[in-house]
């Protein structure tokens, strides 16, 4: 078996030293490496399969000793990691103490700017360009932005500001959805060959200068030629928007022609003006299943390469997830009530709204990667008489917190926010949904609920839609299997907690899915002769103060367990509520105020003593 080219790539210099004829083989090896790693460990597959040739071309054309590449978002950086000295580290992608799933400044000097959320590259690259222009040394700044991220408010704000900041920036638009340009055809290929050609640019400048020197008529002729050129481009070239913003447009280019891409980038590197290079790529390129279903294979767990079927803990039938429960419940409510509408910000599949998108097209709105817009849009719909349900990842909602406060809660508009991934996730600190309760606690008119299982989520959604003000429902990326039932579950009553198990020696308040953790701990404690009450709070806000005070005043030791930071979380709320209570015995367990790393949930919980075994031991020690 011939030696792989990839095995001899230890950095960008090795990529630059390859013969052009070797590049297609290397691209195939990279795709196979990605499939081998991600089929075992999961991760962002489709986007990285589509960006192989683009990454190779960038590393061949630019010198990373002086030039800097900023990726938006970092989940498209797997190929970049493989080619910048982290091929072996990638074998531990998203594993405990392994390779980060995003670009990370602490991991490599080639990661000049880390990010896990979309919309940051243009502004970050502008900042790097401003620093270079002021401090030196010379070097090109390149921002690689997906067409989806280009619609973010921050991206548009950055684009609007480019010509005010620098005259030397390269923006690569990785268009993998064909949402900006027409299909690649003869005209597009012709324009792509002519526009980036250095001879064309020199000729264009020479003609312009020559016309300007014609006595009396020169300036007028130059303006006329420019108007004709702009009019032609507005018809023929899909980059007129960039040109109007002061950026030279090049493209669209075939994103899988590595030789042509390299030639283009080499020409662009010699240009000294703000330039946009528009590249057409295919998500999932090289793996038919991912190319046919890029949304499904955007972020995936482990799977069988031959069949595409999830395996192990990610098998196709693990039971209902909270995302599934939300999507099913919302569909069943909305199909019988045309005033109920679903809103998401570019994450339809991840938030479980696929059924609403397919079956209720007039009641489904995907606004793209624009969380702030999603919130205000929903507020407007609520003001107009609709009942919007906004499904967004908890960490992504950080960007829209002010809008929840300013545009929804101050006006007490009936918007329901469903925050998926509210808890730790394998992607790590950029995606852990563990920092938000401290903010929601301070917002007026907002109720915050956390279901313990899928059935409870369904009941909460119905009650939230009947509520006359804003409601926020948080739930983790986890299975939503019903809690074990020793007796009938209590009806959902606004502001009331649910007692799942009675005991006299302590009270365990397990928030959301950690009610299940509390039940497991209570069973283990019973084996040690300790009988514990288990409480499912259901409502973070409004808190069930009556039950809490009754237990505390009875002298019962209290334990709170939450998949959230301790500071500002549910435990802090309980501690503040019970401040001044005589002889209070309270143990609060959650995540510390530090950067919680990436990895498996089980591994992270073990590391921070948040697994049932460690929690049981700590509670026993505290009681004794």
**Residues labelled catalytic:** 283, 371, 399
Q: Give the Cβ contact number of residue 340 at 10 Å.
A: 21
Which residues, in sequence order, are CB contacts of 483 under 8 Å at separation 6+?
452, 453, 489, 500, 515, 516, 519, 536
Integer Cα distance of 381 and 378 in angstroms: 5
Segments in 171-217 forming alpha helices (H): 186-194, 198-212
Which residues, in sequence order, are CB contacts of 167 under 8 Å at separation 6+?
272, 273, 274
Integer Cα distance of 512 and 519 in angstroms: 12
> Would you say 582 and 555 are in contact if contact means Cβ atoms under 8 Å apart?
no
Integer Cα distance of 189 and 194 in angstroms: 9
* 232 φ/ψ angles, rounded to the nearest 5 degrees: -65, -40
> Would you say 63 and 137 are in contact if contact means Cβ atoms under 8 Å apart?
no
Judge if the upstream peptide bond of residue 252 is cis by omega within 30 degrees of 0: yes
Beta bridge pairs of residue 254: 280
Integer Cα distance of 56 and 146 in angstroms: 17
> Would you say 366 and 408 are in contact if contact means Cβ atoms under 8 Å apart?
no
Integer Cα distance of 440 and 541 in angstroms: 9
Element (H, E) at 545: helix 545-553
For residue 545, the Cα-to-chain-centroid distance in whole angstroms is: 36
What DSSP line would sit under 474-493, residue for residue? E--SSB-PPPP-SSPPPP--
* 540 φ/ψ angles, rounded to the nearest 5 degrees: -75, -45
CA distance to 24, 298, 415, per residue, from 10 (Å): 18, 27, 51
**Residue written as tokens 């011939």?**
2
Angle, in degrees to the nearest 10, between helices 23-41 and 52-61: 130
Closest CA to 476 of 601, 343, 319, 318: 601
Which residues, in sequence order, are CB contacts of 620 under 8 Å at separation 6+?
525, 528, 530
């Amino acid at each position: 078996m011939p030696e792989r080219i990839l095995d001899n790539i230890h950095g960008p210099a090795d990529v630059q030293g390859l013969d052009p004829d070797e590049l297609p083989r290397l691209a195939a090896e990279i795709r196979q490496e990605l499939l081998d790693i991600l089929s075992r460990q999961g991760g962002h597959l489709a986007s990285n399969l589509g960006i192989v040739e683009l990454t190779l071309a960038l590393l061949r054309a630019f010198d990373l000793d002086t030039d800097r590449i900023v990726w938006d978002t970092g989940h498209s950086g797997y190929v970049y990691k493989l080619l910048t000295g982290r091929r072996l580290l990638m074998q531990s992608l998203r594993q405990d103490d392994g390779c980060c799933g995003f670009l990370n400044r602490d991991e490599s000097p080639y990661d000049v700017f880390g990010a896990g959320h979309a919309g940051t590259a243009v502004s970050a690259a502008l900042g790097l360009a401003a620093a270079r222009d002021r401090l030196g040394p010379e070097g090109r700044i390149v921002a690689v932005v997906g067409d989806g991220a280009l619609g973010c408010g921050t991206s548009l704000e950055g684009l609007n500001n480019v010509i005010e900041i620098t005259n030397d920036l390269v923006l690569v638009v990785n268009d993998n959805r064909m949402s900006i340009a027409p299909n690649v055809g003869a005209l597009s290929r012709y324009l792509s060959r002519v526009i980036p050609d250095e001879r064309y640019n020199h000729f264009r400048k020479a003609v312009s200068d020559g016309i300007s020197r014609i006595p009396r008529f020169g300036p007028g002729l130059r303006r006329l030629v420019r108007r004709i050129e702009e009019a032609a481009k507005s018809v023929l070239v899909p980059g007129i928007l960039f040109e109007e913003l002061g950026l030279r447009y090049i493209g669209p280019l075939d994103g899988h022609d590595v030789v042509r891409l390299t030639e283009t980038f080499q020409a662009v590197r010699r240009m000294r003006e703000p330039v946009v290079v528009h590249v057409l790529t295919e998500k999932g390129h090289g793996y038919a299943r991912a190319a046919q279903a890029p949304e499904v294979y955007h972020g995936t767990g482990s799977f069988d390469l031959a069949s595409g079927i999830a395996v192990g803990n990610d098998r196709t039938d693990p039971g209902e997830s909270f995302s599934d429960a939300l999507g099913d419940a919302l569909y069943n409510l909305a199909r019988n009530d045309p005033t109920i509408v679903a809103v998401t910000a570019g994450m339809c599949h991840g938030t479980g709204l696929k059924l609403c998108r397919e079956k209720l097209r007039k009641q489904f709105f995907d606004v793209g990667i624009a969380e702030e817009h999603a919130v205000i849009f929903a507020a407007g719909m609520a003001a107009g008489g609709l009942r919007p349900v906004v499904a967004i990842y908890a960490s992504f909602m950080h960007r829209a917190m002010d809008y929840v406060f300013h545009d929804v809660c101050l006006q007490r508009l009936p918007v329901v926010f469903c925050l998926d991934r509210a808890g730790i996730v394998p992607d790590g600190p950029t995606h852990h949904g563990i920092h938000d309760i401290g903010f929601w606690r301070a917002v007026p008119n907002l109720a915050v609920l956390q279901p313990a299982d899928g059935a409870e989520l369904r009941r909460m959604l119905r009650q939230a839609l009947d509520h006359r003000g804003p409601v926020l429902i948080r739930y983790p990326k986890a299975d939503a299997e019903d809690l074990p039932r020793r007796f009938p579950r209590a009806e959902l009553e606004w502001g009331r907690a649910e007692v799942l198990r009675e005991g006299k020696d302590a009270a365990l308040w397990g928030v959301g899915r950690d009610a299940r953790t509390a039940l497991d701990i209570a069973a283990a404690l019973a084996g040690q002769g300790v009988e514990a009450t288990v409480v499912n709070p259901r409502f973070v806000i409004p808190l069930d103060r009556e039950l809490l005070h009754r237990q505390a005043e009875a002298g019962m030791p209290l334990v709170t367990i939450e998949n959230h930071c301790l500071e500002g979380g549910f435990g802090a709320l309980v501690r503040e509520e019970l401040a001044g209570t005589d002889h209070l015995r309270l143990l609060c367990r959650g995540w510390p105020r530090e950067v919680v790393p990436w990895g498996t949930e089980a591994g992270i919980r073990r590391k921070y003593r948040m697994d049932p075994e460690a929690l049981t031991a700590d509670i026993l020690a505290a009681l004794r």
